[in-house]
Structure 1
Amino acid sequence: MKYILAACFIFLINLSAFATDTKIIVRAKAKDAKFIGSSLGGAEVIIRNKMTNAILAQGKTEGSTGSTDLIMKTPYTRGMRITDDKTAKFLATIDINEPVFITIEVYSTIADENARVSASTDMWLIPGKDVLGEGVVLEIPGFLVDIQSPDSTKNMSLKSIKAEPLKLKAKVVMMCGCPINEGGMWNSEQIEVKAIVKLKNEIMSEVPLDFVTTNIFEGDLKLEKTGDYEVIIYAYDSVTGNTGVDMAHYIITK
């Protein structure tokens, strides 16, 4: 028995001796925009063993959104890097002794659960073969949409609304936090922002929201009945296919 235990002990020592720290960089890039970093609280990264589902590493991307000129304006050629040492990333060091098939999951953004979008990919990680430089880049599509007014926690009277329509105000931002402006790099003119107004699950109207200032869209909401209204505001870019949604409820009394 003691020989069996000794053999097992030697086997475990040999196994750990072959284990190697292997580094991998993971980045989250907003579709048609820049990288998701510290300014939005980072993107959450989880690296799992695909076979066992065990978590091998977990953290969040930290750093800047990157260079606008390099990412958005410079023609891309094969092998060209669009990141530098300051560009947001999550660096994991994983101790493995044989090739491991991993799943990389990215969740963004941490700061806004309602707008959180996920992306994932699978790959083999080889002991001692670091994945650095650009690393693994996962694309996060969409917009961050936030209804800023009216205040959904307050009941409003139909009489006051008929006298002065409600001003719907929504903030629409790229997933990396990059600004949307008229004629800008992220052009408000190609983004449709509209409110779908529902009462008792029936669509009552659709209200377009116009660009007002950086990231802000507004429109007038006219109501003719009392009740519990659901307002769904969406943003849609027909060029890139980016979409985003936020919802609010408004109780209108007599």
Structure 2
Amino acid sequence: MRRSTSRSERRVEPYGETWVYESIVGALLGLHLSDRQAITLQVGLFEVAVLLLAWWYDLGSAVLPGTVAVVVAAVGSVVMRRFGRRTRRLDLPEPYRRLLFGSSIEVVLGVFAFVALVTYVFVFAPRSAVPPLFERLFGSAAPVPVTFLTLLILWDLCYRIGTSWWAALVALWRSRRYAFDAETVRALRRLDALNVAFALTQLAMVPFILDQPVLLLAVGGHVVAVAVVSTAAIWTLRVRDGHVPSAST
């Protein structure tokens, strides 16, 4: 049985029933933005900033990696909105919903990923034989506005990565603890597959970090880990298909 819900993308969900990103979008200037409007605003602002700064500081070589990062982050936003909305439509155990949306652990994981990335870019790479990423993209002295925008986009990516990780881990916990009716199982499998699909889109950044073995390992390891954990969650659901007819306990 599904929870009753509006078909409109503009519905405001209760506090604690959304990702932090969804709450921010819902509170933005008091507007209730649709998925299309929110993503268009995100892509438009970031991409215009990328193009303007690349033109102003003559950094044409940074446009393509910057655009790819913006697009990957935007895809993450689409996935988060759809994942959240479709999850809330299902009749799922309250502990799972609270753990997924109300704990804000995805922000904590995103912060850890971002701090690790900044440490690598500004401390580890310059002290090693690896060509510094910022120097390759922006020259020996990256302009302050360019650095600010780059770190903002990287935080956006790290937050999405943290969310993807958390969704996979909670999905595995959910599948091992609860059993569901056949319809809910099919819907949860699609959601877990959606999370894997988003992780795979992050491979679009690989061509720009081929000379950064640590980043290659981090991105590749993240994609593989999300795929493995989500697949385990899917297979656990399949095994328990007919054990318990309801997920309300």
Same fold, TM-score > 0.5, yes or no: no
Structure with more relative contact order (C-alpha pairs < 8 Å, separation 6 or more): 2
Report the structure, 1 or 2, having the larger helix content.
2
Normalization by structure 1: what TM-score? Answer: 0.21
Structure with the greater alpha carbon radius of gyration: 1
Normalization by structure 2: what TM-score? Answer: 0.21
